[in-house]
């Protein structure tokens, strides 16, 4: 009788713990997300956050929430503060912010439709978004922006976030500023990104046109001068 009970329990666990996997990335970081149904309306989210440059795994947070309700957590890796927000339901959303000091140096935000259909995000203009079955483009050649002299003199630092249209040939076709900076920094970011080249995004192994958010960090090497004595 005890053996039969254990067998039934194992079968029930196998039915309850159903997992689906999703991926998203930026030029700097990548996230792999496993969604596990725990039954009774609860879902567990297992994440693996990696550095795209070194390949190192930065964090493996695990979140649990009731279906349809968001789950949030934070973790620190040396001087990097990682903020994670995940929300499920008929549409899965994941947002990961990478904060260094007072600056958000990178952001990954992706959406997936949950269901038997292909997981594809489409923008109003018909372009595909990265995530799910659409694999992200990978930077092959990155041109660093030229720091405008006016911004340098004013000690302006921070990030510019742009939305880039990357063709199936790996060429940047269009760039729109989502988060600007003054003194010409946003235009410098646009001018640089237009020169980047990519290994194109793919859907079912075939190159496709996509929109892709990119983060450009403007940081001056020398510290600002001390304030004058009062």
Task: Find the CATH number of the domain harbouring 190.
Answer: 3.30.2420.10
- Residue 10 counted as domain residue: no
3-class secondary structure, 181: coil
Q: Which of 91, 145, 127, 116 is nearest to 200 (CA)?
A: 127
Q: Which among 119, 145, 174 is the end of a domain?
A: 119
How much is the pLDDT for 125? 54
Question: Residue 170 belongs to what domain range?
Answer: 126-230
Q: Which of 4-13, 34-43, 148-157 has the weakest average pLDDT?
A: 4-13
pLDDT of residue 11: 32
Domain harbouring 56, CATH code: 2.40.128
Q: Within a domain: residue 82?
A: yes
Compute the distance between CA of residue 167 and CA of residue 59 in angstroms, rounded to an integer: 32
Alpha-carbon gap, residue 182 to 198, rounded angstroms: 28
Measure the CA–CA gap between 109 and 129, rounded to whole angstroms. Answer: 10
Kindly report, residue by residue over 156-207, the tens digit of the pLDDT. Answer: 899 999 989 999 999 999 999 988 999 999 999 999 999 999 999 998 889 9
- What is the pLDDT confidence band of residue 227, given thresholds at 50, 70 and 90? low
Same domain, 104 and 172: no
**Separation CA 82–CA 185 (nearest Å):** 25
- DSSP structural state of residue 124: T
pLDDT in tens, 133-153: 888 899 999 999 999 999 999
The CA R_g of the chain, rounded to the nearest whole Å, is 21
> Could you write out the three-class secondary structure of 106-139?
EEEEEEEECCCCCCCEECCCCCEECECCEECCEE
| DSSP single-letter state for residue 115 | S
Mean of the per-residue pLDDT values of the chain: 81
| Boundary-marking domain end, from 58, 85, 119 | 119
Do the domain assignments include residue 13? no
* Verdict on whether the full-model pTM lies above 0.75: no
* Domain identity same for 92 and 134: no
Domain assignment of residue 4, yes or no: no
Asked whether residue 12 is assigned to any structural domain, the reply reads no
What pLDDT does residue 8 have?
33
Report the number of distinct structural domains present in the chain.
Answer: 2
pLDDT at res. 1? 43
For residues 109 and 45, membership in a common domain is answered with: yes
- Residue ending a domain, choose from 76, 91, 119: 119
The set of residues, in sequence order, having a beta carbon less than 8 Å from that of 101 and lying 6+ positions away, is: 79
Place of tokens 């007072």: 102
Residue 8 domain-assigned (yes or no): no
Query: Binning pLDDT at 50, 70 and 90, where does residue 14 land?
Result: very low
């Amino acid at each position: 009788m005890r053996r039969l009970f254990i067998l039934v329990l194992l079968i029930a666990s196998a039915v309850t713990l159903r997992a689906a996997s999703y991926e998203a990335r930026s030029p700097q970081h990548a996230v792999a997300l496993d969604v596990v149904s725990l039954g009774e309306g609860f879902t567990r989210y297992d994440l693996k956050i990696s550095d795209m440059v070194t390949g190192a795994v930065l964090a493996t947070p695990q979140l649990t929430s009731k279906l349809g309700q968001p789950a949030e957590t934070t973790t620190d890796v040396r001087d990097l503060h990682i903020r994670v927000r995940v929300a499920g339901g008929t549409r899965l959303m994941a947002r990961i912010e990478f904060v260094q000091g007072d600056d958000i140096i990178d952001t990954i935000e992706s959406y997936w439709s949950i269901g038997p259909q292909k997981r594809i995000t489409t923008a109003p203009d018909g372009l595909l978004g990265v995530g799910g079955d659409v694999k992200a483009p990978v930077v092959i050649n990155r041109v660093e922006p030229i720091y405008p002299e006016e911004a340098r003199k004013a000690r302006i630092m921070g990030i510019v976030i742009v939305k880039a249209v990357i063709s199936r040939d790996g060429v940047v076709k269009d760039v729109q500023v989502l988060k600007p900076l003054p003194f010409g920094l946003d235009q410098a970011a646009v001018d640089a990104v237009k020169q980047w080249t990519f290994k194109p995004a793919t859907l079912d192994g075939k190159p496709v046109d996509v929109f892709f958010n990119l983060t450009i960090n403007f940081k001056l090497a020398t510290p600002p001068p001390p304030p004058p004595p009062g």
